[in-house]
Amino acid sequence: MTDEVVPTAAALVIGNEILSGKVQDTNSRDLALLLRRLGVRLQEILVVPDDRARIAGAVAHLSKSFDWVFTSGGVGPTHDDVTIEAVADAFGVGTTTHGETADLIRRHYGDRCTEGHLRMALVPEGAALEVIESVRWPTVRMRNTFVLPGIPEVFRMKLAVVEAVVGRHRPFVSHAVYTNMDEGHLKPLLDAVVEAFPNVDVGSYPTWTDPRFRTKLTFDGLEEGAVVAAKERFLASLPAGEPQWTDP
Amino acid sequence: MTDEVVPTAAALVIGNEILSGKVQDTNSRDLALLLRRLGVRLQEILVVPDDRARIAGAVAHLSKSFDWVFTSGGVGPTHDDVTIEAVADAFGVGTTTHGETADLIRRHYGDRCTEGHLRMALVPEGAALEVIESVRWPTVRMRNTFVLPGIPEVFRMKLAVVEAVVGRHRPFVSHAVYTNMDEGHLKPLLDAVVEAFPNVDVGSYPTWTDPRFRTKLTFDGLEEGAVVAAKERFLASLPAGEPQWTDP
């Protein structure tokens, strides 16, 4: 059971607006939550500027290191949108105009269609254009790398395509315990659980502002039995009368 | 003027809780906003799991590539807090207990002080312990790498130490224009500005949900005169009667 291969993934967030603090990135968290639900382990999030060489280098590295890569941003028509060219560079191919996407753009904009609009039909040579019933505008996938837009509403919409293509694997199980003990006192209790349950990922998160508890403990893994047993072992080790609650 | 050296930086966010989507990272944005104000260019944000080798590899790479590195997370007393050891690994040194910090911890916890609590006095050998008037709890800096805590309230508090040590450089100037034109129609106008003002960073950000405008344009740089001139050139190129507003 523990040798089961869990698919891995990385997110590549592209945009000067994130690095300058103008915009809070939320796309990587929406992706993280979806991948968690699908049973895919997100191993890295990387944010880089709108720089073709930097993006290309990152895609080349990440696409070799992880099963799936998801880029966010840099796919519009303007000068700072260089993700398509960079993904093509990363895979050593050129770019080409995707006929059906260009037709969709021409129909959408009619007489007002410009060369700029048609730039959005540009794809790396050899890319797959993913379409599902609920998201008919094609989504670019170059081998294991999905090219997703940066606008959060559109990014979230496209996650349905990711789910359809990546598929559902064995989902992670997650249990939580909340206590008023601090981490210094919890450490020996947690060390014992970590040692006894090597397949359970035990997390400890102190809070400074939540009046209801001081530390949140999480027990995550693929085997529900082990996760529950680790949580129960931890609960049994708490001092008598120490207040705590669990979820679930 | 344009040859002025702008200090560069990277943020390394550490924590399984970010990659699993349990927690939205906000520390990197708070850091981004501070660095922007200080005139330091944040060039990369990287999020990695609580894995000593992954953190060490990232710190080794980032500390060579950028003038400043800021880590967030993994500095508590529990098994999943391995940032101090990883930063020591990255610089090829061991760890040692910092006497004054250990004294502070003993005074704070009194009789209830545990070995776990004292783990928070561990530092890489050769680290500087930064203290300022308003933040008297020492902040670990190993050469160009600041080791900051993950709890957002504490992270924000420590940014005052970052500001004191990094110092203020020439700040970035940023102007914005909001229009109802879409990017396909804006592209030729923006291309002209980008070509005429190579020292101004022009950004274009469409929105799907803001009822007040369709696209936000930003003009950023170190030279206020060039930033304002680029914005004015862009405004003058808009079709007559096209609604727009600017900030400032």
Verify whether the Cβ–Cβ distance A114 to B187 is below 8 Å. yes
pLDDT over 60 at A36, yes or no = yes
Is there a single domain that holds both residue A149 and residue A181? no
Q: Does B242 touch chain A (CB under 8 A)?
A: no
Is B158 among the domain residues? yes
Looking at beta carbons, which residues of chain A come within 8 Å of B174? 20, 22
Q: Does B128 touch chain A (CB under 8 A)?
A: no
Nearest alpha carbon to residue B183 among B166, B164, B205: B205
Cβ-based neighbours of B110, under 8 Å, separated by 6 or more: none
Q: Give me the residue label for tokens 């200090």.
A: B7
Cβ-based neighbours of A154, under 8 Å, separated by 6 or more: B208
Query: Left if phi > 0, otherwise alpha if psi is -120 to 50, otherwise beta: which for A110?
Result: left
Q: Give me the residue label for tokens 């900051």.
A: B148
Verify whether the Cβ–Cβ distance B28 to A47 is below 8 Å. yes
Q: Summarize the confidence of residues A13-26 as an average pLDDT.
A: 97
Rounded CA separation A85/A89 (Å): 6
Is there a single domain that holds both residue A13 and residue A125? yes
Of all residues in chain A, what percent carry a pLDDT higher than 70? 98
- What CATH code is carried by the domain that includes residue B198? 3.30.70.1710
Across A179-183, A208-212, B213-217, least confident range: A208-212
pLDDT at B15: 96
pLDDT at A210: 87
Distance of residue B142 Cα from the nearest chain A Cα, in angstroms: 23
CA angle A77, A82, A83 (to 5 degrees): 110
Q: Summarize the confidence of residues B4-14 as an average pLDDT.
A: 93
Rounded CA separation B31/B158 (Å): 10
Q: Are B137 and B205 in contact (CB under 8 A)?
A: no
Is there a single domain that holds both residue A15 and residue A134? yes
Is B149 among the domain residues? yes
User: Tens digit of pLDDT for each residue in B116-171?
Assistant: 999 999 999 999 999 999 998 899 999 999 999 999 999 999 999 999 999 999 99
Is there a single domain that holds both residue B26 and residue B68? yes
pLDDT at A5: 85
Q: Does B198 touch chain A (CB under 8 A)?
A: no
* Average pLDDT over chain A, rounded to an integer: 95
pLDDT at B5: 85
User: Tens digit of pLDDT for each residue in A126-140?
Assistant: 999 999 999 988 999
Verify whether the Cβ–Cβ distance B76 to A204 is below 8 Å. yes
Q: Are A29 and A13 in contact (CB under 8 A)?
A: no
Phi, psi at residue B246, to the nearest 5°? Answer: -125, 160
Verify whether the Cβ–Cβ distance B77 to A19 is below 8 Å. no
User: Tens digit of pLDDT for each residue in B29-57?
Assistant: 999 999 999 999 999 999 999 999 999 99
Q: Are A117 and A109 in contact (CB under 8 A)?
A: yes
Q: Summarize the confidence of residues A70-99 as an average pLDDT.
A: 97
pLDDT at A60: 98
Is there a single domain that holds both residue B40 and residue B75? yes
Looking at beta carbons, which residues of chain A come within 8 Å of B112? 184-185
Nearest alpha carbon to residue B30 among A74, A14, A18, A208: A18
DSSP state of B94: -
SS3 (DSSP) at A68:
strand
Of all residues in chain B, what percent carry a pLDDT higher than 90? 92
pLDDT over 80 at A37, yes or no = yes
Rounded CA separation B127/A91 (Å): 42
Is there a single domain that holds both residue B114 and residue B75? yes
pLDDT band per the 50, 70, 90 thresholds, residue A54: very high
Give the H or E element holding residue B74. Answer: none
Rounded CA separation B61/B45 (Å): 13
Is there a single domain that holds both residue A17 and residue A100? yes
Structural domains in chain A (count) = 2
Rounded CA separation A59/A71 (Å): 8
Is there a single domain that holds both residue A101 and residue A73? yes
Rounded CA separation B25/A40 (Å): 20
Q: At B116, which amino acid appears?
A: G
Q: At A210, which amino acid appears?
A: D
- Token pair, residue B193, equals 């500005």
Is there a single domain that holds both residue A155 and residue A200? no
User: Tens digit of pLDDT for each residue in A145-156?
Assistant: 999 999 999 999
Q: Are A60 and A28 in contact (CB under 8 A)?
A: no
Is there a single domain that holds both residue B119 and residue B58? yes
What is the residue range of B22's domain? 8-166
Boundary residue ending a domain (A166, A184, A218): A166
- What CATH code is carried by the domain that includes residue B29? 3.40.980.10
Is there a single domain that holds both residue A116 and residue A68? yes
User: Tens digit of pLDDT for each residue in A161-198?
Assistant: 999 999 999 999 999 999 999 999 999 999 999 999 99
Interface test with A, best of B8, B18, B22 (most A CBs within 10 A): B22
Is B185 among the domain residues? yes
pLDDT over 70 at A124, yes or no = yes
Is A195 among the domain residues? yes
Boundary residue ending a domain (A141, A166, A191): A166
pLDDT band per the 50, 70, 90 thresholds, residue A1: very low
CA A24 to chain centre: 15
Q: Summarize the confidence of residues B220-229 as an average pLDDT.
A: 96
Is A223 among the domain residues? yes
Q: Does B49 touch chain A (CB under 8 A)?
A: yes
Is B2 among the domain residues? no
pLDDT band per the 50, 70, 90 thresholds, residue B242: confident
Kindly give the pairing relationship between strand B41-48 and strand B8-14.
parallel
pLDDT over 60 at A118, yes or no = yes
Q: Are B74 and B120 in contact (CB under 8 A)?
A: no
pLDDT at A4: 63
Verify whether the Cβ–Cβ distance B45 to A113 is below 8 Å. no
Boundary residue ending a domain (A125, A145, A166): A166
Looking at beta carbons, which residues of chain A come within 8 Å of B190? 78-79
Cβ-based neighbours of B97, under 8 Å, separated by 6 or more: B118, B121, B122, B123
Buried b / exposed e along A153-183 (16+ C-beta atoms within 10 A): ebbebbbebbeeebeebeebbbbbbbbebbb
Q: Does B111 touch chain A (CB under 8 A)?
A: no
pLDDT over 60 at B24, yes or no = yes
Question: Number of A:B CB contacts under 8 A?
Answer: 182
Verify whether the Cβ–Cβ distance A204 to B113 is below 8 Å. no
Distance of residue B128 Cα from the nearest chain A Cα, in angstroms: 24
Chain A residue with the nearest C-alpha to that of B20: A32
User: Tens digit of pLDDT for each residue in B81-117?
Assistant: 999 999 999 999 999 999 999 999 999 999 999 999 9
Is B3 among the domain residues? no
pLDDT at A211: 87
Residue B230 CA: distances (Å) to CA of B196, B203, B220: 8, 12, 9
Is there a single domain that holds both residue A138 and residue A210? no
Q: Summarize the confidence of residues B172-186 as an average pLDDT.
A: 95
Is A2 among the domain residues? no
